[in-house]
Amino acid sequence: MASDDPPREHPARRREEGIVGPNELDFTSSSRVAELDEGRFVVATDDDGTPNVDGDGDAPADEEDRTIEERGTFAKQQTARYVSDRDADYGFALTAAFEGAIEQRELFSDDVATAFGDIAQWYASQVDADAAPAEVLGILLLASDTDVTFPTKVLAPIFREHDLTLDDSIGDLVEALAGDGLQIPPSDGE
C-alpha cells in the first residue's frame, strides 16, 4: 500500500462513521423507496417505512389539475417574489379582467405619485378606451362612493383658470365649470 492511499478499515467501522459503499448507495431496492418515473423517487420518512404515493404513481398534478385556489395562491406567491425583487420603493404587477379581456400592467418607481398615477390612468383607459382617463376616473370615483379630499389650496388655480375672484358667486363658478367640469388640478391652459 502506497503512503498516499487511505488506510483500509473494517466495513462495520465505516458504517459507524457514516461512510457508505457503492452497494449501500443503491436505494432502488429498498422498501422505503418507490419510483415514480425515470429518475424520480419517493422516499418514506415516516415510522412505518412505506412511501406514500398518491394515485397510480403518476407525477404530481399538472397546472390544469390544480384548483383555481391553488393556482391563485401560487400566482400570488410568485408575483410577490417578483415585485419584492425589483429595486423600487413602489411597484405594481397587475393582471386584470375587463369585460372578458385579460390585461396586464406593471410599474416600478421610487415616486409614489408616479406609480399611482400610472396605474390609475391605465385602469381608466381599460374601462373606457374612448373617454379621457380623467373623465373616467372622476366617474368611477363618484360611482364607487369613494370620498376624495383635496387641500383648499387647489381652488386658487381653478378660480384663476376661469377668471373668477372671491367676489364672484358660487353660481358664477358653476357656470364656468359647466362645459368641462371641475378638473383638479387645472389643465394649465391645455
What pLDDT, on a 0 to 100 scale, did the predictor assign at position 43?
78
Distance of alpha carbon 105 from alpha carbon 89, whole angstroms: 17
What pLDDT, on a 0 to 100 scale, did the predictor assign at position 56?
45
pLDDT tens track for 14-43: 456 667 666 666 666 677 777 777 777 777
Q: For the whole model, what pTM was predicted?
A: 0.56
11: pLDDT strictly greater than 70: no
User: CA-based diameter of the chain, in Å?
Assistant: 111
Lookup: cell for 17: 462513521
**Burial status of residue 140 (CB atoms within 10 A of its CB: 0-12, 13-18, 19 or more):** middle
Distance of alpha carbon 160 from alpha carbon 176, whole angstroms: 11
Label residue 60 by pLDDT band (50, 70, 90). Answer: very low
> Which is more confidently placed, 189 or 46?
46
